[in-house]
Amino acid sequence: MESSSTEQQSSLRSLFTIANNQRHKLDSIPDSSSSVYQDNLRAAIAAFHESRQLTEELTIFSSNETEDDIASGDLQFLLINYFLGELIKRDSATNRKTVLQLAQAAYERYLKLLDNYDMLSKADSNLYQRYLSGRDDFSLLSTSDPTARRNTKITRYKQEQELKLKLEYLARVPLALQNDDAASREIYLAEIQLCTHNTFHALDMIIQELKIISLMPLTSPVREAEEQAEDYRRRNGVPDDNYSDRLDPPISQLLSNGKAGPILSKDGKPLRPFTLLDSRQRLQDGVFKLDHALPTMTMDEYLEEERKRGGIVDDGGKAGGGPQQLDEDDMDKADSETMKAREWDEYVEANPKGSGNTLNRG
């Protein structure tokens, strides 16, 4: 019987080590929403669940014992429920409210176990009693005074840093001292203090998130089932019943100009804009017509139209007022033109090109 109990103890330690390794493996996976991360997360949760079940079967912890009655090697098993709470709240594959409630229950089991062994500090014990008196309204920052809330944040941050430094210091203890029962016990107790500190912070965040979820509109079961079915079709490439590969809309949509429903109400009032057509045959004739505009006149008709508008000159430009030929017998007209040409030549000689622009010259 004693041999069987020893084997179970060894099995518990091995299982707890495997669960811890699975938990640490999650830190190397950057995307928490990936399938790889979620699969490893569920494996770690299952390992910790099995470890907790084995501790109950072996009655590692009892309500009529004290902290001194717990073996140093068994102190690490007090953290099983804490690790479960930390892992469960990372699950993104199920309903978020259910995930938060399961994580909250795991944290509560962890605090209850520590309270049974009187392992909570005075400050943590007061927080635990305040939590039990009002789970739905629990908050680490219970006051509305900004100064008091700021001081509380600073105090808890300092406590967390001190606990982390203490644990890091103890973890650097040489291997020879780690085999010492007192040294290993101190390391486990320091880790429990840090985890307890983080537990109250996690409970505060969970309760705040649950309040936000409670304010969200409820989704009906039918609508939720439709969304799940649509999500399944989208992820697995299953087309919808109303899905079609056609790129052009149906004729009914074309006829209604993309607007469905009746045109007139029961009282005869128009419900949407519409166009009156002369006959149904006109609409049918336009179905198979060419998609480009056909010519509306012949070339002769076009030229005649241009001639009417003055775009075509028939007499070679004579009627358009071209340059006139001088009459050689009209001496007065010839002299006049000669004088005009001489005056222009004199003007050009007196005013060479560019002589008027003197502003930018050096």
As a whole number, mean pLDDT of residues 211-215 equals 87
269 vs 141, higher pLDDT: 269
As a whole number, mean pLDDT of residues 232-258 equals 58
Question: What was the pLDDT predicted at 108?
Answer: 92
257 vs 12, higher pLDDT: 12
pLDDT band at 1 (very low <50, low <70, confident <90, very high): very low
Q: Are 164 and 55 in contact (CB under 8 A)?
A: no
326 vs 182, higher pLDDT: 182
Per-residue model confidence as pLDDT tens digits over 88-139? 998 886 688 888 989 999 999 999 999 998 888 888 898 899 898 888 888 8
270 beta partners? 264
Question: What was the pLDDT predicted at 82?
Answer: 92
User: Mean pLDDT score of the chain, rounded to an integer?
Assistant: 78
Question: What was the pLDDT predicted at 157?
Answer: 75
Q: Are 263 and 270 in contact (CB under 8 A)?
A: yes
pTM of the model: 0.56
Contacts of 148 (CB under 8 A, 6+ apart): 141
Confidence check: pLDDT of 208 > 80: yes
Confidence check: pLDDT of 33 > 80: yes
Most confident of 53-57, 163-167, 273-277, 294-298: 53-57
As a whole number, mean pLDDT of residues 343-349 equals 90
Question: What was the pLDDT predicted at 316?
Answer: 59
Question: What was the pLDDT predicted at 32?
Answer: 83
Question: What was the pLDDT predicted at 297?
Answer: 87
Per-residue model confidence as pLDDT tens digits over 144-192? 667 766 776 777 777 777 777 766 765 666 554 556 677 778 888 888 8
Q: List the structure tokens of 89.
A: 């709240």
Per-residue model confidence as pLDDT tens digits over 37-69? 888 898 999 999 999 998 888 888 887 888 888
Category of 118 on φ-ψ map: left (φ > 0), alpha (ψ -120 to 50) or beta:
left
Question: What was the pLDDT predicted at 106?
Answer: 92
As a whole number, mean pLDDT of residues 301-325 equals 73
Confidence check: pLDDT of 20 > 50: yes
